[in-house]
Structure 1
Amino acid sequence: MGGCRPLGFLLGLPFALVALVLSLIGAVIWVIGTILSCLCPCCICCTGVLNLAVSLIKLPIKVLRWFIDQIPC
């Protein structure tokens, strides 16, 4: 029954690795945005950048789950 789920994982692995690079970029953006929001709390645009960075950090997990869900069992 679970024999086809690893296939979705293997198919999604190269895309998850690309998403991992984007995740690292998101982590750097998140650290810089956090520092900027601490230095200047009136800067409201930092919250949008921080939300984008957090979504980039979660991207590899979302990519793998999407690929695994696409394989019918």
Structure 2
Amino acid sequence: MGDCRPLGFLLGLPFALVALIFSLVGAVVWVLGSVLSCLCPCCICCTALANLAVDLIKLPVKIIRWFIDQIPC
């Protein structure tokens, strides 16, 4: 099994599910921010908003990896 830590995965799963909801919100914000930045390229805040949304989309994976790394084999 090597680097498999199922306990960390199971402990992080509820938090990852909450983060999945945030990532869905982030995906919607990313689409809206991308459309707004294409329509009005002078709005630099839309670009920052889209970058924040991408971070929200990556959040569930980061949370699961953090929990897995915290549990020793």
Q: Distance in 1 between matches of 2:56 and 2:66?
A: 15
2:41 match: secondary structure: coil
Match of 1:6, as an amino acid?
P
The runs of at least 4 consecutive aligned structure 1 residues that moved more than 3 Å come to 1-4
* Structure 2 partner of 1:7: 7
2:72 match: secondary structure: coil
TM-score by length of 2: 0.93
Number of aligned residue pairs: 73
Q: Distance in 2 between matches of 1:20 and 1:51?
A: 17
Identity %: 79
Asked if the contact 1:4/1:71 (under 8 Å) is kept, the reply is: no
- Structure 1 gaps of 5+ residues are none
* Structure 1 partner of 2:47: 47
Q: CA RMSD in A?
A: 1.5
TM-score by length of 1: 0.93
